[in-house]
């Protein structure tokens, strides 16, 4: 058993969190992760309305009696998002852990704190992690350059980013990006983290609500099969390197400033959700994937994955690493 400040803070058995993912963080996956001893996360904005989120939270409670959280990603959008209403539902439904991402959750902290909600903010730099601590977040999830989705613009991988953050933070730090097995869990703990956050690895599980073709493609792919798009827009995103990604990169490589309008039809979220995640056409839409694909070679249940990771990490810590220490 691996006990850390994170397991105590969240009331979970294992220091493993399933990160919020658009169109993937549904009740089925969140409940499976929580039932396996980790912390499952429902993604709020996958639900079209705050009331739909309320229903999803209640659906998850029918599947698990263990703690789970909700992700609330705060980003500028073309159509205004009623963030206050989503936050209100989270509080009213008694959720005690919220994962925030995007801009600072500072405006929501008074309401969350008053309701006893522990906020974990996802950060891509030490400065952002320190800001999260300063505004009262309970923990900081530090995302290295390896991660899927938005890794920030600093390009610092976790081998450097995690100990840099650990040296300055006093709240628990969670490692995110490039982690998918017990070696990654043990390494994260050695680098100062109190637990890990995984997105891509949980997509390749039996309970993830995505088409099997996507999961199988992750098994067949390697750490070389991702692409970094939107670099010219200073909004870098790591996605799977398919024909759509290559078209985006070709447009971005052309001389002059890139206009998002030139990319919008290619990267539309609806296209990726319907064509890739639902229909299984992995080449007809963008979908996020991290470098951790190089470590994915099966599609286990969440229970098997978490138990295997913890067992591997325990053996590494207790046997391999301990065996290297000599009294002489």
Q: Which domains are delineated in the chain?
A: 5-210+298-324 (3.20.20.70), 226-288 (no CATH)
pLDDT score recorded for residue 214: 98
Residue 257 has pLDDT above 80, yes or no: no
pTM, two decimal places: 0.96
What 3-state DSSP class applies to 175? strand
Pairing of strands 226-229, 237-240: antiparallel
**226 band by pLDDT with thresholds 50, 70 and 90:** very high
Higher pLDDT, 79 or 279: 279
Per-residue pLDDT, 75: 86
- How far CA 70 is from CA of 40, 46, 56, in Å, comes to 8, 11, 10
Which residues fall within 8 angstroms of residue 230, CB to CB, at 6 or more apart? 236, 237, 248, 252, 263
Mean pLDDT of 83-91: 98
Residue 262: what pLDDT? 87
Residue 121 to residue 116: CA distance in whole angstroms = 16
- Give 142's strand partners: 123, 175
Confidence at 121, pLDDT banded by 50, 70, 90: very high
Instruction: Give the residue-averaged pLDDT of 135-142.
Output: 98
Q: Give residue 255's pLDDT band: very low, low, confident or very high (50, 70, 90).
A: low
CA–CA distance, 195 with 218 (Å, rounded to integer) = 24
pLDDT band, very low/low/confident/very high, at 326 (cuts 50, 70, 90): confident
pLDDT tens digits along 161-182: 999 999 999 999 999 999 999 9
302: enclosing H helix or E strand: helix 302-315
If pLDDT is split at 50, 70 and 90, which confidence band does 253 have?
very high
Using only C-alpha atoms, the chain has a radius of gyration, in whole angstroms, of 19
What tens digit of pLDDT does each residue of 36-70 get? 999 999 999 999 999 999 999 999 999 999 999 99
Rounded to an integer, what is the distance from CA 168 to the centroid of its chain? 23
322 confidence band (pLDDT: 50, 70, 90): confident
Q: Are 141 and 41 in contact (CB under 8 A)?
A: no
| pLDDT surpasses 80 at 78 | no
pLDDT of residue 328: 76
Average pLDDT over residues 250-267: 87
Cβ 54 vs Cβ 93: under 8 Å: yes
Res 20 pLDDT > 90: yes
pLDDT of residue 327: 76
Strand order in the sheet with 16-18: 16-18, 195-198, 173-176, 139-143, 118-123, 97-102, 68-74, 40-43
Q: How many whole angstroms separate alpha carbon 153 and alpha carbon 180?
A: 23
């Amino acid at each position: 058993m691996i006990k850390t400040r994170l397991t105590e803070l969240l009331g979970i058995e294992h220091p493993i969190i399933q990160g919020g993912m658009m169109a993937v963080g549904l009740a089925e996956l969140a409940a499976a992760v929580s039932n396996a001893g980790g912390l499952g996360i429902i993604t709020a904005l996958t639900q079209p309305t705050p009331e739909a989120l309320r229903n999803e939270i209640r659906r998850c409670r029918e599947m698990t009696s263990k703690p789970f959280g909700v992700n609330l990603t705060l980003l500028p959008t073309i159509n205004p998002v009623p963030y206050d209403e989503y936050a209100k539902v989270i509080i009213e439904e008694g959720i005690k852990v919220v994962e925030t991402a995007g801009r600072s959750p500072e405006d929501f902290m008074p309401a969350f704190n008053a309701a006893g909600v522990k906020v974990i903010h996802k950060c891509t730099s030490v400065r952002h992690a320190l800001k999260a601590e300063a505004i009262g977040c309970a923990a900081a999830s530090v995302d290295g350059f390896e991660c899927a989705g938005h890794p920030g613009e600093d390009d610092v991988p976790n081998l450097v980013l995690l100990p840099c953050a650990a040296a300055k933070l006093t709240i628990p730090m969670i490692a995110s990006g490039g982690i998918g097995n017990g070696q990654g869990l043990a390494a994260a703990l050695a680098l100062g983290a109190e637990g890990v956050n995984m997105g891509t690895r949980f997509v390749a599980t039996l309970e993830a609500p995505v088409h099997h073709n996507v999961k199988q493609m992750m098994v067949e792919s390697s750490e070389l099969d991702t692409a970094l798009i939107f670099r010219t827009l200073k909004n870098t995103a790591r996605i799977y390197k398919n024909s759509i990604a290559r078209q985006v990169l070709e447009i971005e490589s052309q001389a002059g400033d890139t206009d998002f309008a030139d990319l919008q039809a290619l990267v539309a979220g609806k296209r990726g959700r319907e064509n890739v995640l639902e229909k299984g056409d992995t080449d007809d839409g963008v979908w996020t994937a991290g470098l951790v694909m190089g470590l994915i070679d099966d599609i286990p249940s969440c229970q098997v994955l978490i138990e295997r990771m913890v067992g591997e990490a325990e053996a590494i810590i207790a046997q391999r690493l301990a065996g290297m220490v000599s009294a002489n």
